[in-house]
Structure 1
Amino acid sequence: MAKTPESPQIPYEQARDELISVVQKLEVGGTSLDESLALWERGEVLAGICQQWLDGARSRLAAAADQLDASDET
């Protein structure tokens, strides 16, 4: 996906993989409260980045479907 001004700074796959790692660390436990809060906050940021990418993909699919529908009508 080409970056647009609204695109997140890191690719979807990188954000997803880091989010998985954050969740695993939180599930295992053994971190201090401060570390856990920092992980949680990073997870929230990463989840937002993933959501931005997914919303962008949905918009692109919807636009492509609209174009297909418009070409079918002619």
Structure 2
Amino acid sequence: MSDATGPQPSYEEAREELVEVVRTLEAGGTTLEESLELWERGEALAKVCQAWLDGARQRLDEAMGAED
């Protein structure tokens, strides 16, 4: 797991970790504190994934615009 000071994970890494966070939360058995930490990590990972998707969309839009 990358922390806030480390390099940003790839889209695939972030998505895979997010899936694991969701599985852990859905399985239950964690304390409230652990659940909150997992939720926060999941929110951060979702933002990373969205940033990658937004960047990909922008690059695609730019490439499509260059073809016109």
Q: TM-score, normalised by structure 1?
A: 0.81
Q: Which has the larger radius of gyration?
A: 1
RMSD: 0.9
Instruction: Determine whether 1:9 maps to 2:3.
Output: no
Q: Which whole-Å CA distance do the structure 1 matches of 2:9 and 2:40 have between them?
A: 17
Q: Which whole-Å CA distance do the structure 2 matches of 1:46 and 1:11 have between them?
A: 10
Q: CA deviation at 1:9?
A: 1.3
Superposition misfits of 4+ residues, deviation over 3 angstroms? none
Aligned to 1:5: none
Aligned to 1:24: 23
Instruction: Determine whether 1:37 maps to 2:33.
Output: no
Instruction: Determine whether 1:58 maps to 2:57.
Output: yes
Q: Number of aligned residue pairs: give it.
A: 62
Unaligned 5+ runs, structure 2: 1-6
Deviations 1:10-63 (A, max 9, x none): 111000000000000000101000000000000000000000000000000000
Q: TM-score, normalised by structure 2?
A: 0.88
